[in-house]
C-alpha cells in the first residue's frame, strides 16, 4: 500500500514535469512520455502485473491531457507494461546501459502500439509518416531520460532508507 502511494506520487510528479517543463524542451519535435518510461521501469523492477497496473494508471492520467480518445494511452501502456515485464525476466540487471536501452526500445514499442490501436479505433490522423517520426524521436528522448526515471522508480519501490541489496530489491540500478 505504501509502495503504491509512493508510485502514485511519483506518477503525479512525472506528469507535472511532462506537461509543464518538457513541452518546452522538445527534441526533433518530440516529448518523451514519462509515464510510459515509468511504466517500463515498474515492469522492469516488479514484473508484468505491476507493469500493466501502473501502465493503466499512467496512461489514464496522461489521457486526461490528450486530444485522442480517453483510454487509448492506458490500453497501449497496459500492453507495453505487461510485455516489458515478461521480457525483463531474462535481462542482465547490473549493466549501466540496460535502463536506456530498455526505456528507448520500450517507448518505441509503446508508441507503435499507441499509433496502431489509435488507427484501429478510427484515429486515422495517427497513421502518418509524421506520427511515426515523432514516435521514433520520442523513443530516443525516452532513452535519454530513462536512467533518471528508472532511478526514481527504484527509489519509490525500495522506499526511504532501503539498501539496494535488501530483500525484495533488485540490484543493478
For every residue of 81-147, DSSP letters joined together read HHHHHHHHTTS-SS-TTHHHHHHHHHHHHHHHHHHHHHHHTT-GGGSSHHHHHHHHHHHHHHHHHHH
Closest CA to 148 of 34, 1, 58: 34
Q: Is residue 148 part of a domain?
A: yes
In whole angstroms, what is the distance from residue 118 CA to residue 25 CA?
26
Task: Give the Cα separation of 102 and 98 in Å (integer).
Answer: 6
Q: What is the pLDDT of residue 126?
A: 86
In a domain, residue 137? The reply is: yes
Reported as a single tens digit per residue, the pLDDT across 99-151 is 999 999 999 999 999 999 999 998 888 889 999 999 999 999 999 999 999 99
173 inside domain:
no
Contact residues for 146 (Cβ-Cβ < 8 A; gap 6+): 37, 40, 41, 99, 100, 102, 103, 104
Residue 150 is assigned to a structural domain of this protein: yes
Establish if 72 belongs to a structural domain. Answer: yes
Please give the C-alpha separations between residue 120 and each of 6, 109, 112, in angstroms, as whole numbers: 35, 16, 12
Q: Mind listing the pLDDT tens digit for each residue in 31-77?
A: 999 999 999 999 999 999 999 999 999 999 999 999 889 999 999 99
Going 38 to 40 to 44 to 50, the CA torsion angle's sign is: positive
Report pLDDT for 162. Answer: 55
166 belongs to a structural domain: no
When comparing pLDDT for 173 and 10, which is higher?
A: 10
How many domains, in total, are found in the chain?
1
This prediction's pTM: 0.88
In a domain, 167, yes or no: no
**Residues with Cβ within 8 Å of residue 161, at least 6 apart in sequence:** none
**Are 14 and 38 spatial neighbours (Cβ–Cβ below 8 Å)?**
yes
Q: Is 82 within a domain?
A: yes
> Over the stretch 150-165, which tens digit does the pLDDT of each residue have?
999 999 998 765 544 4
Judge contact between 62 and 15, C-beta under 8 A: yes
Q: What angle do CA 14, 19, 125 make, to 5 degrees?
A: 115
Mean pLDDT of 21-40: 93
Task: Tell me the average pLDDT across 94-98.
Answer: 80
Dihedral sign from CA coordinates of 113, 29, 13, 37: positive
Give the pLDDT score at 3. Answer: 87
Structural domain of 117: 2-158
Amino acid at each position: 500500500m505504501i509502495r503504491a502511494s509512493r508510485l502514485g506520487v511519483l506518477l503525479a510528479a512525472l506528469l507535472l514535469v511532462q506537461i509543464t517543463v518538457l513541452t518546452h524542451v522538445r527534441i526533433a519535435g518530440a516529448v518523451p512520455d514519462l509515464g510510459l518510461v515509468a511504466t517500463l521501469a515498474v515492469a522492469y523492477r516488479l514484473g508484468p502485473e505491476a507493469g500493466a497496473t501502473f501502465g493503466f494508471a499512467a496512461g489514464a492520467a496522461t489521457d486526461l491531457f490528450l486530444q485522442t480518445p480517453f483510454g487509448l494511452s492506458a490500453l497501449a501502456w497496459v500492453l507495453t507494461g505487461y510485455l516489458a515485464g515478461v521480457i525483463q525476466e531474462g535481462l542482465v540487471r547490473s549493466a549501466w546501459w540496460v535502463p536506456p536501452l530498455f526505456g528507448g526500445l520500450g517507448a518505441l514499442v509503446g508508441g507503435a502500439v499507441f499509433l496502431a490501436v489509435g488507427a484501429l479505433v478510427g484515429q486515422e490522423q495517427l497513421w502518418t509518416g509524421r506520427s511515426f517520426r515523432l514516435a521514433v524521436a520520442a523513443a530516443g528522448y525516452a532513452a535519454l531520460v530513462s536512467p533518471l526515471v528508472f532511478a526514481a522508480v527504484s527509489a519509490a519501490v525500495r522506499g526511504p532508507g532501503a539498501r539496494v541489496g535488501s530483500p525484495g530489491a533488485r540490484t543493478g540500478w
